[in-house]
Amino acid sequence: MLTRTEWRQTLRKARRDLTDEEQHQAARLLAETLTTLPELRGVRRVAGYLANDGEISLAPYLAHLHEQNVCTSLPVLHPVSGNQLLFLDYHATTPMVQNRFGISEPALDCQAIRLPQEHQALLMPLVGFDDKGNRLGMGGGFYDRTLANLAGLPRPPLLIGVAHECQRADSLPVMAWDVPLDMIVTPQQVLRCR
């Protein structure tokens, strides 16, 4: 039985070891799957992310959403609340900056902030997942903190983890604060967990 730290090391290495060709192929297949996913039909606003550390890229899917005039958002490190995220509107001409992890994010603009519940779906990166919908992140608890109070809302967004198949674990050690996912989508499989 591996600890969370050991799972993070193993699964981050697995995704970083993928070749550029494997990454491209995975991103293309993922976009195809997301494009035809019934749960995402008719969405008006979706949050995604820009891939980092071997994460599966959402770029082809975000481009598809833009073509379809679906609004998109990206996570931004919260300027005040530690280890929390804000979601900011993201489009072709959004000014971008590098955050302290070296990840590109929309420049902070209060007008562009979108609440989690303004999205029909949040697509989240992850380090590891299991088939119960448990999500292991990089260890900062960013999404857990940001989404902690979402479940009580009348129309919470669908929480969808996206990942490479190599990020699957048999059974992850779960903590009380971990926010479970509704679905996990890999290039090979759609897992509905709730």
Ligand X SMILES: Nc1ncnc2c1ncn2[C@@H]1O[C@H](COP(=O)(O)OP(=O)(O)O)[C@@H](O)[C@H]1O
Judged by beta carbon, residue 106 or residue 128, the one nearer ligand X is 128
Among 28, 144, 145, 180, binds Mg ion (CB under 5 A): 144
Dist. CA 138–CA 126, nearest whole Å: 7
42 neighbors 193 (Cβ within 8 angstroms) = no
Judged by beta carbon, residue 112 or residue 184, the one nearer ligand X is 184
| Interstrand relation of 96-98 and 104-106 (parallel, antiparallel or unpaired) | antiparallel
Q: Is 151 in the site for ligand X (CB under 6 A)?
A: no
Among 55, 105, 130, 178, binds Mg ion (CB under 5 A): 178
Strand order in the sheet with 71-77: 113-114, 85-90, 71-77, 45-47, 121-124, 158-162, 183-185, 190-192
Q: Is 75 in the site for ligand X (CB under 6 A)?
A: no
148 binds, among ligand X, Mg ion, none (CB under 5 to 8 A by kind): ligand X
139 binds, among ligand X, Mg ion, none (CB under 5 to 8 A by kind): ligand X
Judged by beta carbon, residue 133 or residue 137, the one nearer ligand X is 137
Q: Which residues of 112-132 are buried (b: 16+ CB within 10 A; e: fewer)?
A: bebebeebbbbbbbbbbbbee
Q: Is 55 in the site for ligand X (CB under 6 A)?
A: no
| Interstrand relation of 183-185 and 96-98 (parallel, antiparallel or unpaired) | unpaired
- From 5, 6, 75, 33, select the one nearest 165 (Cα to Cα): 33
Q: Is 82 in the site for ligand X (CB under 6 A)?
A: no
Interacting residues with ligand X between 160 and 179 (CB under 6 A) = 175, 177-178
Return residues touching ligand X (CB under 6 A): 136-141, 144-145, 148, 175, 177-178
